[in-house]
Chains A and B, each alone.
Chain A
Amino acid sequence: MTPAVQPDPGQSERSDHSIAIWGAPGSGKTTFLAALNIALILKKGPWRVIGADGPSTDFLIEMTTALSQYQRFPPATGALGHYRWFLSRRSEPPRRSWRRRRKPPRAWKIGLDVLDAPGGFFRAERTGYGTDREELIDNLAASRGIVFLFDPIRESKDGDAFAYLHGVLAELAGRMLADDEFGDGMLPHYLAVCVTKFDELRVLETAEKLSLLTPDPDDPYRFPRVDDADAEELFEALSAVSAGGNADMVLPALKQFFRPERIKFFVTSSIGFYLDPLRGVFDPDDFQNLVPEATGTAGGAQNPHDPHGPRAVSGNRFRIRGQAHPINVMEPMLWLGQRLSSGDGDAGKAGG
């Protein structure tokens, strides 16, 4: 068995690739990150998240504990956080054969330099912005994988996804494409577009109306899913009900700067659906996994799903009702990691 990576709290261990998470405020970036570790644990697969430095390890522990044990949402990002993790795939022990001893498979280790920026940074005015914005663009430019979180609930109310997107995109393109380093004039990143809040009734209903829900035969809980191949269709449908009316410009804008073959859509939920322990399977009549907390209850967080929340809820703080069952949270990361480590994402050279 390959020895586990031993991060040194005092020294950052640099990875080859970094992945940035991009999304409007309240789109659930922090929760998404926290859910990643839970998703990998629940999967019981070979993948693990390992902190590459002290703060990243602390963040991992803190967020995982909050989400899984205390059923609380991690506080929204208030400052630029740069977390360095490894997505590690442990090697399987070699199977013995009577003929010959097999060579153990190689362990994988994909660096995840996750830049968790508060959403406001993405919309800051170009002129007069501070160093945080500078650092953000720097990190987006340095990364080769981006997780773009599209929050359809926020979009239906505020309609500002495009506003958050296009300024940063233009600046990023100006920085990276000015000297035609990448040949075809396209940004070199792989882009995982994640339609979030799949556990929300309105998102689930839209997917159902479009007949996009598919059962996963391997899922003992029978949670509904949207196949990745159908995720773009759901994205387009949800964009059509944008409050600002310009969410339908998001996808063309992305395709204008990123190579279409490097864009993949996912329908995700950080907390997933509620699972009644007595039933043990998804209940279409009772699947909401958010519970409002009374005023003054400690530890709650602003509703990450709906800035306005259900009526009559004082304080607008929420906790997770049951166990978090993240949906499609690790898949975008794994997809990005595999793309980047497969060689064709080498420093993002055009055509690479």
Chain B
Amino acid sequence: MTGSSRLRETLAEAVAELAGPRRLTVIEVAGEGVVAFDLHRDEAGTPRGRGRTVVHWADQKSGASSWARQAVTDAVPDGSTLIVVDSSPGGRQAREAMEWMRDVHPQVPAFVLASGLRVKTLLREVVADEPLRRSYELVVLKRHPVTARLEFTCRPLFTVEARRGDSLTFTVRCEPSDDRGTVFAVAAWQDRYPALLSVQTAKVPPGPYEVTAELERPGRVRFPSLPEFTGNDRTWAELVASVPSRLASPAGPAHLICAVEISGTGAQVRERLRRIGQVIAVMPGGPESPLRMSLIAYGAHSYQRGTAEEPVDVAAWHTSRVNTQYALERLEGRIGERGVSQGYAGAAMLEDMLAEVAGRLPAGGGERTVLLTVGECPPHPPRAHRSEILPCPRRIDWKQQVRRLEQHPGLTFGAICDQPSERADPVWSRLGRSGLAHLDAVDVRKLGAGLGLTASEAQPLPFPLIEVP
């Protein structure tokens, strides 16, 4: 085995042992001076290092011992693994330096490289040849087939022990992106913890793509089948935030349930009903439309002796848009004649409505369902509560009903509240977790798109999409 072969082997072993805070220092006594290489693993598990000439022979006027001591002291961090390599063609200063280091570090392996070979080249080859210590995956989005909700996921690229030159081909779909292009981000995984390896951006037209990924070396993945990559000027947080909650796709059966609070002032109730009418109007509603609709009205509990309260009114259930519009007109007419629901002023029978919806939805789901609640008041608690709101006469626990609905496959919560979100009762954040709008300023098209019911005019998607089987 030649000196360079033994050195390569020793370097490969030392690089492989790098982990956590451990570092490797290679001191090369070269023709022009002393070069120190400092190597470590970054948070993605990739060996990283840099070399710098710490002593130039031409600058040295004093004896060898003083500069060599200084060089080693400065260049070798505490606890670092040290390897000494002599690649100089000879000379007094280099010889004295090697002698001194052998005296000071008698246990440190010292190698002599043949003329013309350099440590820098050897280290690059060693790092590039190292098998992956972590798996690499491509950051992509997946769309829930029922709810259209977008979620981040990863498409596996290279497993642990993969080596440079390994490649694979897979399919992704690129949606229209913004003018900065689609982001191809690679994450390195250790156990359950990912670390971002690289973020590259390519301007690709929308459509499906056969993507080839090639492991150039640890820490670098190329996508030769894609157009040229450009730099990315956005932070990861900005990129994540730019992903819409849903990728609107009105195709497939869906069920929009509009639940409206009919207590409060007459003006409030009329405005809520008007907004519901607008929402219904922007929904796809032709005879062939797979979108079904329901309309539910709920008012206030009555705690007045001798006054019966109106139960939750299911004005329309799982019917066409036209029938729902008729039901809405009838409801408006009824309120115009009889007035709004009278009763308890500080809360509404929201919990009864939730129980009604939960009881009517078929077990197992089967279609995308959106519960759009329009109102202002909080629900009644099931028992005496510090809010001082009187308990629901039927002791319905609204939190339990919300949990029940949350577990319903494919159900999405949207809400239009009379109050802006910062002033709305906290329950409205939960009822509008996928889309909460203020009654006075609601963009019904945007709300519909956000809830996955209507197509959005412009919905750039910054990451590639994979289909979920």
Contact = CB atoms under 8 A, between A and B. Distances in A.
A306 to B, nearest CB: 7
Given A310-B346, A312-B347, A312-B425, A288 B388 contact: yes
A284 B395 CA distance: 13
Interface stretch (B35-43, B142-150, B170-178, B378-386): B378-386
Given A292-B344, A292-B345, A310 B395 contact: no
Contacts of A290: 388
Nearest to B392: A286
Contacts, number: 61
B389 to A, nearest CB: 5
B278 interface: no
B164 to A, nearest CB: 63
Interface in B245-299: 265
Interface in B284-325: 303-305
Nearest to B302: A291
Contacts of B345: 292-295, 297, 313-315
Nearest to A290: B388
Interface in A213-266: none
Contacts of B49: none
B376 interface: yes
A82 to B, nearest CB: 34
Nearest to B343: A294
Given A294-B342, A312-B378, A287 B384 contact: yes
Contacts of B383: 284-286
Given A311-B346, A313-B345, A201 B305 contact: no
Chain B residues touching A, range: 20 to 34
A292 B346 contact: yes
B390 interface: yes
B186 interface: no
A315 to B, nearest CB: 8
Interface of B is mostly: loop
Contacts of A167: none
Contacts of A293: 345
Nearest to A321: B303
Nearest to B377: A312
Interface of A is mostly: loop
Contacts of B425: 311-312
A286 B346 contact: no
Contacts of A294: 342, 345
A273 B342 CA distance: 24
Contacts of A295: 265, 345
A306 B389 CA distance: 13
Contacts of B388: 201, 288, 290, 306, 309-310
A175 interface: no
Which of A277, A293, A311 gathers the greatest number of chain B CB atoms within 10 Å?
A: A311
Contacts of B384: 201, 284-288
Contacts of A315: 345
Interface residues of A, number: 25
Contacts of A311: 346, 378, 387, 389, 425
B303 A291 contact: yes
Contacts of A322: 305
A239 B256 CA distance: 53
B194 interface: no
Nearest to A315: B345
Contacts of B376: 312
A202 interface: yes
Nearest to B385: A201
Interface string A298-333: 000000001001111111000001100000000000
Contacts of A292: 344-346
Interface string B386-415: 111111000100000000000000000000
Contacts of B304: 291
A309 B390 CA distance: 12
Given A292-B346, A322-B305, A201 B390 contact: no
A290 B390 CA distance: 8
A347 to B, nearest CB: 45
A292 B346 CA distance: 7
B385 A312 contact: no
Nearest to B383: A285
A310 B265 contact: no
A4 to B, nearest CB: 32
A34 to B, nearest CB: 19
B346 A312 contact: yes
B386 A202 contact: yes
Contacts of B344: 291-292
Contacts of B385: 201
A321 to B, nearest CB: 5
Contacts of A321: 303, 390
Contacts of A291: 303-304, 344, 390
Contacts of A313: 345-346
Nearest to A300: B345
Given A295-B345, A312-B347, A322-B305, 13 more contacts: A285-B384, A285-B391, A285-B395, A286-B383, A286-B384, A288-B388, A292-B344, A294-B342, A294-B345, A295-B265, A306-B388, A311-B346, A321-B390
Q: Which 6 A-B pairs have the closest CB atoms?
A: A285-B383, A294-B345, A313-B346, A310-B388, A310-B346, A292-B345
30 contacts: A201-B385, A201-B386, A201-B388, A284-B383, A284-B384, A285-B382, A285-B383, A285-B391, A286-B383, A286-B384, A286-B390, A288-B384, A291-B304, A292-B344, A292-B345, A294-B345, A295-B345, A297-B345, A306-B388, A311-B346, A311-B378, A311-B387, A311-B389, A311-B425, A312-B347, A312-B376, A312-B378, A314-B345, A315-B345, A322-B305
